[in-house]
């Protein structure tokens, strides 16, 4: 994913899945597309997880993304 939307939510009371759902809803409303990829800082996932799926959305750890941020969008086609 070369372009996407950066979403910030550092509320410790909100689960990661709810944060992602809010970001997905906003992305869909703004761009008219349903995102299929979300990059998060590895500390936001359970240790050792390489990839998590939430419906059709793939969540991957990516160190350059700061904690509390989500980089969400549509994965580039190969």
Q: What is the pLDDT along the chain (78 residues), one digit of tens a residue?
A: 878 999 999 999 999 999 999 999 999 999 999 999 999 999 999 877 788 898 899 999 999 999 999 999 999 876
78 belongs to a structural domain: no
Residues 67, 53: Cα–Cα separation, whole Å: 19
pLDDT computed for residue 36 by the predictor: 96
23 belongs to a structural domain: yes
Q: Which two tokens stand for residue 55?
A: 């419906």
How many domains would you assign to the chain? 1
pLDDT computed for residue 78 by the predictor: 64
Of 14, 10, 23, the closest CA to residue 54 belongs to 23
Of 67, 77, 11, the closest CA to residue 39 belongs to 67
Domain that holds residue 37: 5-73
pLDDT computed for residue 48 by the predictor: 74
The reported pTM is 0.90
């Amino acid at each position: 994913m070369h372009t996407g939307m950066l979403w910030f939510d550092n509320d410790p009371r909100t689960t990661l899945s709810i944060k992602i759902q809010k970001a997905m809803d906003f992305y869909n409303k703004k761009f008219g597309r349903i995102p299929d990829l979300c990059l998060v800082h590895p500390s936001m996932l359970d240790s050792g997880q390489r990839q998590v799926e939430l419906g059709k959305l793939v969540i991957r750890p990516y160190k350059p993304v700061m904690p509390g941020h989500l980089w969400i969008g549509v994965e580039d086609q190969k």
